[in-house]
Amino acid sequence: MSRRKVPSPARLLFSVIYREERDFDRSLRTISGRLGTVARISEPFPFDRTEYYEREMGAPLFRRFLLATEAVSRDELAAAKLTAEAIENEFLVNGKRTVNIDPGLLTDENVVLATGKNYSHRIYLHDGVFADLTLVFEKGEYRPLPWTYPDYASAEIRAFLAGWRREFREERKQAVGGDS
């Protein structure tokens, strides 16, 4: 018989897509104020999937990843998505987004993104938010799944996120004074 157990905490991860650096800076301050201090900020990644976003946000677009300082309960993902959407709406200009903020969870086992779009592989959480299993950690690396977005499936982003995973695990190990 299996026994239910609350999983280990995760780190909130945010993908911020933007065109103007000032819009990124504003979103960073707001995310930190509402969803927890940001421990790490990636360098900008060129964002190639612009067809979907450039009609609304213009071009060229960039993506940065943010990692929250504090670990959180995994059931906070839906609330993070709702807060991210509210922030996006606050920064609208003429009804168009200036930033796209996609929250997710970085865990030992996987990367899970929050989305408002249902699909066969997505699990409903609540309040119109679904969990999208995006990457799984296997054989020393994050691996994509058949439905993983191409940018997340790229070797560059998977290796980058695996680096943050290693740092997160090391911090956790140091905090408890041993193996985790």
Global pTM value: 0.91
Residues in Cβ contact with 113 at an 8 Å cutoff, skipping those fewer than 6 apart: 15, 102, 103, 104, 131, 132, 134
The answer as to whether 56 is a domain residue is yes
In a domain, 44, yes or no: yes
Residue 2 lies in a domain: no
The reply to whether 4 falls in a domain is no
3 occurs within a structural domain: no
Q: Which of 151, 177, 153, 180 is nearest to 165 (CA)?
A: 180
> For residue 87, is it within any domain?
yes
Q: How many domains does the chain have?
A: 1
Quote the pLDDT of residue 50. 66
Tens of pLDDT, residues 11-62: 999 999 999 999 999 999 999 999 989 999 999 988 876 688 998 999 999 9
The reply to whether 148 falls in a domain is yes
Give the CATH number, domain containing residue 158.
Answer: 3.30.70
Could you read off the pLDDT tens digit of each residue along the chain, which spans 180 residues?
899 999 999 999 999 999 999 999 999 999 999 998 999 999 998 887 668 899 899 999 999 999 999 999 999 999 999 999 999 999 999 999 999 999 999 999 999 999 999 999 999 999 999 999 999 999 999 999 999 999 999 999 999 999 999 998 998 888 877 554
User: What is the model's pLDDT at position 24?
Assistant: 97
What residue numbers bound the domain in which 130 lies? 10-176
